[in-house]
Amino acid sequence: MHQEDYMRAAIALARDGMNSGRGGPFGCVIVRKGKIVARGQNRVTSANDPTAHAEVSAIREACASLQTFQLDDCELYTSCEPCPMCLAAIYWARIPRVYYGNTRADAAAIGFDDDFIYRQIPLPPEQRAVKMKSLLRKAAQATFLEWAGKTDKVRY
Tell me the pLDDT tens digit for each residue of 25-50: 999 999 999 999 999 999 999 999 99
- 25 near 54, Cβ under 8 Å? no
Query: What pLDDT does residue 97 have?
Result: 98
Query: What pLDDT does residue 113 have?
Result: 84
pLDDT beneath 70: ranges in the chain: none
- Tens digits of per-residue pLDDT, 112-129? 989 899 999 999 999 999
Query: What pLDDT does residue 2 have?
Result: 95
Query: What pLDDT does residue 1 have?
Result: 83
Query: What pLDDT does residue 27 have?
Result: 98
Query: What pLDDT does residue 19 have?
Result: 97
Enzyme catalytic residues:
55
- 27 near 40, Cβ under 8 Å? yes
